[in-house]
Amino acid sequence: MKIKHTFGSTGVALASAILLSTTVSAQDAAEGADAAAEATAEAAADAVMPKEAAPVEPREMMPVQPVEGEQVTEVVEIVEELAPPVCELRVFPTLEGQAQTTGWLSGFGVIGAVADAAKNKDRNISEAEYLRDALGPRFQVEALGTIDLVEELKLPEGTAIMYETPIADRKITTKVKTRLTDSTADCYAELLITQNLYQKKAIYGRSLNNRFIFKDFRGGKTKTKMVKGRGGNGLKHFPPKTTDETEAAEADLLAAFTKNFLEYSKRFKR
């Protein structure tokens, strides 16, 4: 016996609705799958593409500590830098500036010399003032800087040369046999310039004369003898007659001063 299924209008409508629902569900599923695929692709792209880094607050960098060997080297170098010099030479420039112009009258005894001095009094004062300015402490230091004082005075290699403030009192610079500084160095010496004298004589012309004193305290001495001496050399351009000759006159003085010291230092090479 066969059973025949029949559908009325209601059945047809229901079947259609079921078919439509099935179709829509399939489309939704497909669209959902596509959306999921797109989301996955975007997430993968975001993972691949670099993102802008968030700002980082600056932090104080800790100093890199050197290895142990470097620390030891640094300490050794500092100790070497602070080590005292082999020997000390203290140099005292002078503030003095003297001028002496003499003429033919000086050849006629005391009376002639007095008359000559009175005649040239104003000139001597003017030239002495110029000499103090032109050959002041700064220029003496400059001139001595062109000389190897350590070699000339026969001091040990490595001697430190230190320039001191000039001492105006001649009783101190020319008579005191003790140290003029507080240094207690075992190897210690002093060089003093005690005279800048310009002379103009009728017969010999113009010249610069300097006096020096060397005091050697090596061996830890606190008192020593004074080695005194001088040097004198001629001048061609000092004093200047016009302002245009000022530079040549000052160079003339410096050259004569240098030669004077070298004349004095010859005694240490004997």
End-to-end Cα distance, the chain? 158
Q: How far apart are CA 253 and CA 210, in angstroms?
A: 11
Q: How far apart are CA 185 and CA 189, in angstroms?
A: 9
pTM above 0.85, yes or no: no
Distances (CA, A) of 155 to 60, 71, 105, 172: 52, 36, 46, 24
Q: How far apart are CA 207 and CA 13, in angstroms?
A: 142
Provide the total of helices (H) and of strands (E) in the chain, helices listed first: 8, 6
Going residue by residue through the chain, which has 270 residues, state the pLDDT in tens, using 9 for 90 and above.
444 444 444 444 433 443 334 444 444 544 544 554 555 445 444 444 444 545 555 555 555 555 555 555 555 555 455 677 899 999 999 998 887 776 434 444 444 444 444 444 445 456 667 777 778 899 899 999 999 999 999 999 999 999 999 999 999 999 999 999 999 999 999 999 999 888 887 777 899 999 999 999 999 999 999 999 999 999 999 888 888 888 898 889 899 999 999 999 999 987
